[in-house]
Amino acid sequence: MTRPQTPAREPDSQARKPAGATAMRLIVPLQGVVQGRGGLILGSLIPCALFYLFQLYAKRHRSPKPGSDPVSPSQSSSNLPELHRSSSRSNLSSRGSIGRVGVSSRASSIAKPNDSPYYIGLDKVSEDPYDRFDNPNGIIQLGLSENRLCFDLIEKWVSENLEDSVMGSDGGDLSICGIAAYQPHDGMMEFKVAMAGFMSLVMGGTVTFDPQQMVLTSGATPALEILCFCLADPGNAFLVPTPYYPGFDRDMRWRTGVELIPVHCRSTDNFIISITALDQAYIQARKRGVKVRGILISNPSNPVGNLLPRETLYNLLDFVQDKNIHIICDEIFAGSTYGSEEFVSMAEIIDSDVIDKNRIHIVYGLSKDLSLPGFRVGVIYSFNKSVLAAAKRLTRFSSISAPTQRLVTSMLSDTRFTLAYIETSTKRISDMHDLFVAGLKQLGIKCIMSSAGLYCWADMGGLIRSYSEKGELELWDKLLNIAKINVTPGSACHCIEPGWFRCCFTTLSQADIPVVIDRIRKVAETCKPSS
């Protein structure tokens, strides 16, 4: 079936005020001198010269610096395509011109085409999507973390409970009464109650969530952005362990003006964050004069799929406590765990300790665990009353549609269904994972031990020609255009070690796996690295 294009997301750039403004302040009074107020020759020649010199200086500093080569993502340490210094005041200099009306620098930075492999790959698949029968030579999608394994369960619930009605049935009544009017922006209380119950279930039943500490948003994307707006000012930064979800670059930075500082994790640590690395990153930021406002982690991790051990969570809490900063935990894959490791939510950790909870914020959503990305349901769960108050007000820009609230409330309140769903879902993800990882193993490709997520983190370092980002992208390109599979290269996720790829397998059926493995094999055979 054709996969419609996901919202493409871009890396963004920060706008900065140009130096031109200061220059203008010098020029204008000089112009006065030049326009004949000094009668003497010297009096007019020298200012003239000065004037033109300043003009030259100002012109050179007013023009925007070109971005770095857009084709290859920049080194992980400098984060993404160069910060684009476009002049928001460029229209000032074109006084009286009837040129094209300008847009803001925020807009200019994003209007250019996608240049991250993450988005390029998604675009390509939508142009030529694989279908076992209709398009067997199309591109197989392994770049979209969506769970399509359990729709039969959802559809069964829909047919039993909604009687095919989009509106949902309130006792069989199709009335839109009660949901047409303005609702609280941050979601109806019944919905919050149902969501709190679902989150508790999904996270193993070891922690309860208080609906009063919840703010509901139209997806996890605005949930993260809203938290960012509440916790940091433009120019501030968040520390983010790498590799991380490429979407963070847009969601966290674009309109907020906040910086993301990658903190590199290594395969030797199983890509688990080390406090030493965090500390170093924090100190380096301080040296640069950048104020770090918090840490952003995803647990279960995207793209690696591992779970943070309890010990690490405690260490992270120590760290943020010590630095007096925030921690945002994106737990959106909490319900997609399947291994023997246990998932520990940040909410559970702080339940058992006396610490300042005001710095803890959790993000959740129904796009992954419940496969409802189209319905736009996200959660901010915070222990900080001021953050909740501010976030509540900000949800006016990102509220969940009322009919959807009602439908999903009814779904989540059916605990018989949700329990059975999570059990079955995690089993099917696990089976698919095992099959896929075994298939890769046949090709000599190992994956990081993972017990969560809808993907595996595969080491294809053995297949790349030069052990570098360039080599990795060459392989990615081959996989996309020759093998015709779309996987996400580690560099798009800011991974410091080349050769790692995220492969999502929950949009496949079991029959597709041999096809994928076969295609990779063909490319692998042509990829014998130079010894």
Residue 519: in which H helix or E strand, if any?
helix 512-525
User: C-beta of 26: minimal distance to another protein in Å?
Assistant: 16
Per-residue exposure over 213-249, b if at least 16 CB sit within 10 Å of its own CB, e if not: bbbbbbbbbbbbbbbbbbbbeeebbbbbbbbbbbbbb
208 binds another protein (CB under 8 A): no
The residues in 71-90 that bind another protein, with binding defined as CB under 8 A, are 88-89
The residues in 234-253 that bind another protein, with binding defined as CB under 8 A, are 234, 236, 250-251
Q: Which of 273, 297, 332, 496 is catalytic?
A: 332
Q: Which of 67, 138, 211, 403 binds another protein (CB under 8 A)?
A: 403
The residues in 28-67 that bind another protein, with binding defined as CB under 8 A, are none
Q: Which of 61, 124, 266, 393 binds another protein (CB under 8 A)?
A: 393
Contact pattern for another protein over residues 90 through 109, marking x by CB under 8 A: -xx----xxxxx-xxxxx--
What is the DSSP annotation of 233-268? Answer: -TT-EEEEEES--THHHHHHHTTT--EEEEEE--GG
The residues in 132-171 that bind another protein, with binding defined as CB under 8 A, are 146, 148, 151, 154-156, 158-159, 162, 164-167
* Neighbour count for residue 323 (Cβ, 10 Å): 18
Tell me the two tokens of residue 496: 């410091």
Which residues touch 164 (CB under 8 Å, ≥6 apart)? Answer: 158
218 binds another protein (CB under 8 A): yes
The residues in 485-514 that bind another protein, with binding defined as CB under 8 A, are none
Burial zone of 121 (CB within 10 Å; 0-12 exposed, 13-18 middle, 19+ buried)? buried
Residue type, 152: D
- The stretch among 8-16, 36-44, 457-465, 471-479 that binds another protein (CB under 8 A) is 8-16
User: C-beta of 170: minimal distance to another protein in Å?
Assistant: 13
Q: Which of 27, 273, 387, 483 binds another protein (CB under 8 A)?
A: 387
Specify whether 330 is catalytic.
Answer: yes
100 alpha-carbon distance from chain centroid: 33
Q: Among 523, 460, 527, which Cα is nearest to 489's? A: 460
Q: Which residue has the tokens 């029968």?
A: 133
Inter-residue contact 371 to 150 (CB < 8 Å): yes
| 3-state secondary structure at position 46 | helix
Q: Which of 141, 312, 371, 506 binds another protein (CB under 8 A)?
A: 371
- The stretch among 43-51, 351-359, 430-438, 440-448 that binds another protein (CB under 8 A) is 351-359
73 alpha-carbon distance from chain centroid: 16
| Angstrom distance (rounded) from CA 191 to CA 209 | 13
> Of 105 and 301, which CB lies nearer to another protein in the complex structure?
105
Specify whether 332 is catalytic.
Answer: yes
User: C-beta of 247: minimal distance to another protein in Å?
Assistant: 9
Which residues touch 477 (CB under 8 Å, ≥6 apart)? Answer: none
> Of 402 and 432, which CB lies nearer to another protein in the complex structure?
402
User: C-beta of 101: minimal distance to another protein in Å?
Assistant: 4
Q: Among 73, 60, 64, 61, which Cα is nearest to 15's? A: 64
> Of 322 and 518, which CB lies nearer to another protein in the complex structure?
322
Q: What is the CA radius of gyration of the chain?
A: 26
The residues in 313-342 that bind another protein, with binding defined as CB under 8 A, are 314, 317-318, 321, 324-326
229 binds another protein (CB under 8 A): yes
Q: Which of 11, 13, 14, 15 binds another protein (CB under 8 A)?
A: 15
> Of 135 and 386, which CB lies nearer to another protein in the complex structure?
386
Q: Which of 330, 360, 421, 464 is catalytic?
A: 330
> Of 97 and 531, which CB lies nearer to another protein in the complex structure?
97
* Size of the residue set binding another protein (CB under 8 A): 102
- The stretch among 2-10, 332-340, 438-446, 473-481 that binds another protein (CB under 8 A) is 2-10
User: C-beta of 235: minimal distance to another protein in Å?
Assistant: 11
User: C-beta of 15: minimal distance to another protein in Å?
Assistant: 6
| Angstrom distance (rounded) from CA 412 to CA 198 | 6
> Of 230 and 278, which CB lies nearer to another protein in the complex structure?
230
Q: Which residue has the tokens 């340490």?
A: 77
| Angstrom distance (rounded) from CA 504 to CA 496 | 21
Burial zone of 353 (CB within 10 Å; 0-12 exposed, 13-18 middle, 19+ buried)? exposed
394 binds another protein (CB under 8 A): yes
User: C-beta of 71: minimal distance to another protein in Å?
Assistant: 20
Inter-residue contact 13 to 78 (CB < 8 Å): no
Q: Which residue has the tokens 């406090």?
A: 275
The residues in 252-271 that bind another protein, with binding defined as CB under 8 A, are 254-255
Q: Which of 119, 130, 244, 245 is catalytic?
A: 245
User: C-beta of 358: minimal distance to another protein in Å?
Assistant: 5
Residue type, 387: V
Q: Which of 192, 368, 392, 484 is catalytic?
A: 368
> Of 46 and 174, which CB lies nearer to another protein in the complex structure?
174
Q: Among 400, 414, 411, which Cα is nearest to 179's? A: 400
Which residues touch 469 (CB under 8 Å, ≥6 apart)? Answer: 72, 73, 75, 491, 498
CA angle (161 as vertex; 510, 426 as ends), nearest 5: 30
User: C-beta of 407: minimal distance to another protein in Å?
Assistant: 7
215 binds another protein (CB under 8 A): no
The residues in 173-202 that bind another protein, with binding defined as CB under 8 A, are 174-177, 179-183
The residues in 270-309 that bind another protein, with binding defined as CB under 8 A, are 293
| Angstrom distance (rounded) from CA 148 to CA 508 | 8
List active site positions: 245, 330, 332, 368
